[in-house]
């Protein structure tokens, strides 16, 4: 949740607001509490996150760093709202390559909190730069809804043999041909034909991602 506290500070500074002013707007008696929150030393409830969003003229999801794919399957990703109800835990299953595929090891000891409206079953951490034009950067968490098929042009987590990658998927059944396309012109598409398709398995569709604050 460190992104939240960094985003609170960055948003406050962007608005030219002092810590004393923000404290008054969200119900704290002094700037000391705001300083501790921005340093990540105080956990915030969802109601408090909403209060900070209101005071900073933004939304909880922007403060949390959440983004969600548009429902019309367009190329862009858009912001989502954090419901005031409870969040859910999703397992982080390991890393997924955004450059060259790497082995995706399961690590069910790690979880991330996500709003209930994110329809995902697990998440993977992006690695590399091949999806930067989709705004998915190295280190981002990508949320995956488990499904064995996706529509052409959708971003998916794909297993190739015993390795995993994140790419846009294009399947042409009349040609028995699959193309996995990067979102960076520096990376050529991966193309599989005929029997090569037997080593390919779609893990699921990428439905959301959470960017890291640098």
pLDDT digits (tens, 9 = 90+) for 31-85: 999 999 999 888 888 788 888 988 998 877 678 766 544 333 333 333 334 443 4
**What pLDDT is recorded for position 109?**
53
Closest by CA to 98, choosing from 210, 3, 181, is: 181
213 DSSP assignment: P
Cα Rg, the chain, nearest whole Å: 20
Stretch 10-23: mean pLDDT: 91
161 DSSP assignment: T
Question: What are the residue ranges spanned by the domains of the chain?
Answer: 2-64, 68-210
Q: Which of 6, 61, 127, 130 is catalytic?
A: 130
Res. 96 pLDDT band, cuts 50 70 90 = low
Q: Which of 6, 61, 127, 167 is catalytic?
A: 167
User: Chain-wide mean pLDDT for the chain?
Assistant: 79
Percent of the residues in the chain that have a pLDDT greater than 70, as a whole number:
79
On whether the CB atoms of residues 136 and 98 are closer than 8 A, the answer is yes
| 168-191 confidence digits (pLDDT tens) | 999 999 999 999 999 999 999 999
Stretch 187-210: mean pLDDT: 90
Any idea what the Cα angle at residue 175 is, between residues 172 and 180, rounded to 5°? 45
Closest by CA to 131, choosing from 71, 181, 200, 62, is: 181
CA distance 153 to 133: 14
Q: Look up the pTM and report it.
A: 0.59
CATH 3.40.718.10 holds for 68-210 = no
Residue 130 annotated to the active site: yes
Residue 167 annotated to the active site: yes
Fold of 2-64: 434 Repressor (Amino-terminal Domain) (1.10.260)
């Amino acid at each position: 949740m460190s992104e939240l506290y960094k985003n609170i500070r960055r948003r406050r500074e962007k608005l030219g607001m002092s810590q004393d002013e923000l404290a008054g707007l969200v119900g704290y008696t002094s700037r000391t509490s705001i300083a501790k929150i921005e340093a990540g030393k105080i956990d915030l409830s969802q109601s408090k996150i909403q209060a900070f969003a209101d005071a900073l003229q933004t939304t909880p999801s922007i403060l949390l760093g959440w983004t969600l794919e548009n429902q019309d399957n367009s190329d862009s990703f858009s912001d989502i709202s954090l419901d005031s109800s409870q969040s859910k835990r999703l397992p982080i299953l390991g890393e997924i390559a955004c450059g060259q595929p790497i082995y995706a090891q399961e690590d069910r000891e790690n979880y991330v909190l996500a709003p209930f409206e994110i329809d995902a079953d697990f998440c993977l951490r992006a690695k590399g730069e091949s999806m930067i034009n989709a705004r998915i950067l190295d280190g981002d968490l990508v949320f995956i809804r488990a499904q064995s098929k996706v529509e052409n042009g959708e971003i998916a987590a794909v297993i190739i043999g015993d390795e995993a990658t994140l790419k846009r998927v294009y399947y042409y059944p009349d040609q028995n041909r699959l193309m996995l396309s990067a979102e960076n012109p520096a990376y050529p598409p991966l193309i599989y034909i005929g029997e090569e398709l037997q080593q390919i398995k779609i893990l699921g569709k990428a439905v959301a991602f959470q960017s890291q604050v640098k």
